[in-house]
Structure 1
Amino acid sequence: MVKDPEESSVILTELMLPSHSNFSGKIHGGYILNLMDQIAFAAASKFSGKYCVTASINKVDFKNPVNVGELLSLKARVNYVGRTSMTVGIRVTSENIQTGEIKHCNSSYFVMVAKDDNGKNAMVPKLRLTSDQDVRRFVRAKSKLENTRARVREFDAACFDAQAHLDSLKDHRVVLDLQ
C-alpha cells in the first residue's frame, strides 16, 4: 500500500485555559507536549491504520510563550516512513484572538511505531513523495534518524574512550580529577 503525506494530516486547535497555565499565566510546556503527543498519535495512526506508540521525540525548543486565552494550533503529518516506524512533523502556533497575531511556538518530530493487534511492530504503508518539499521533509527526517543512531554508537558506554576527548574539554568549566 502507498499513501500520500496529506492522508496523515491532522490539525488540532484548542483554547488555552487558566487550568493549563503556570503561576505566570503562561501555558505549561508539559501540557503542550501532551497535545503534541496526541496529534503525533493521530497522524501516525491515520496514516498506518494501526495503533501507534511514541518511540522518541526529537528536540523541542519553545520559541515563544503561549498565554492564557490564546488559540493553540498544532499541525501534524507523516514526513518519513521506515518499515514499522514513521516520523511525524509537528508545527505549533498560537493566535491572540483579539489582535490576530500568530506566533510560531515550536516544531518537533515524533518517531511513532505502528503496532498490530498483538502488540508487535506492524508494517506501515509506503510514502508517496510528489513534491520537492516532500523530498526535503523525508530526507531531513532520514538524516536526523541516521545522526541519532551514529551518536548512540559514538557514545556507547561499552566502547567510549574518554581519553580521546579530554582535549575538547579544556575550554569548558570543568575540573578533571580522573582516578
Structure 2
Amino acid sequence: MMPGDANILGKVFGGRVLALIDKAAATAAMRHAGGVCVTAQIDRVTFAQPIEIGNMARFVAEVTYVGRSSLEVRVEVFAMNLNSGEERATNTCYVTLVAVDEEGRPRPVPRLECETADERARYEEGRQRMEERRRRRKGG
C-alpha cells in the first residue's frame, strides 16, 4: 500500500481497504456469474489489524452462496511485510452482489457446486446469512 492510501495515523485508510474488498468480491462474483454483478451490501466487516503503509495487501475472495440472482462472497485480507516476509490476516467480510443483465435487471446465476464437506458447510452458513439479511430488510 502506498503513502496516498494513508489515514491520519499513517495506516491504510479503512475506506481504501473497503474499496479494494469490493473490487475483489466483484471479480469473484463476475467470474462465477459470467457477467456483470453489482454490489448490494457489504456486511460483517472486521478490521482485526491495521495495514501498514509499505505492506503488500493480498485479497482472497470466494463465492460462498448463490441464490437466484444474488451471490455472497467472503473476502479475506492479508498484509505482508515485504522486509520480513511475515503475513498476517487483517480483515474479513461478506459482500452480497446481484448479477444484472444489459438493462440492469437481476438475472439468474449458475448454481454453486460444492464438492467438499467444508464447501457445503460454508454454503449452508451463507444461506443462513442470506436469510438473516432478508429478515433485516423486512424489518424483522
Superposition TM-score, scaled by structure 1 size? 0.75
- Opposite residue 39 of structure 2, the aligned amino acid is T
Aligned length: 140
For 1:25 and 1:43, locate their aligned partners in 2 and report how far apart those are by CA, in whole Å: 30
For 2:46 and 2:114, locate their aligned partners in 1 and report how far apart those are by CA, in whole Å: 28
- Picking from 31, 37, 43, the partner of 1:46 is 31
Alignment of 1:106 with 2:74, yes or no, is no
**In the alignment, which residue of structure 2 is the partner of 1:92?**
77
Alignment of 1:22 with 2:7, yes or no, is yes
**In the alignment, which residue of structure 1 is the partner of 2:129?**
144
For 1:71 and 1:141, locate their aligned partners in 2 and report how far apart those are by CA, in whole Å: 29
SS where residue 93 of structure 2 aligns? strand
Q: What RMSD, in angstroms, separates the aligned Cα atoms of the two structures?
A: 1.2
- Opposite residue 127 of structure 1, the aligned amino acid is L
Structure exhibiting the larger radius of gyration computed from Cα positions: 1
Write the mapping of 1:65-84 to structure 2, written as runs, cut at 5 A: 65-84=50-69
Q: Runs of 5+ in structure 1 lacking a partner?
A: 1-15, 156-179
Identity, in percent, stands at: 34
Superposition TM-score, scaled by structure 2 size? 0.95
Q: Runs of 5+ in structure 2 lacking a partner?
A: none
For 1:85 and 1:60, locate their aligned partners in 2 and report how far apart those are by CA, in whole Å: 19
Q: Which moved more, 1:140-149 or 1:85-94?
A: 140-149
Alignment of 1:116 with 2:106, yes or no, is no
Q: What is the CA-CA distance between 1:137 and the residue it aligns to?
A: 1.0
SS where residue 98 of structure 2 aligns? strand
- Opposite residue 80 of structure 2, the aligned amino acid is E
**Cα deviations by residue, 1:142-162 (Å, 9 ceiling, x for unpaired):** 11111222344455xxxxxxx
For 1:106 and 1:78, locate their aligned partners in 2 and report how far apart those are by CA, in whole Å: 17
SS where residue 61 of structure 1 aligns? strand
Q: What is the CA-CA distance between 1:117 and the residue it aligns to?
A: 1.1
- Picking from 103, 112, 116, the partner of 1:127 is 112
Q: Which moved more, 1:94-103 or 1:66-75?
A: 94-103
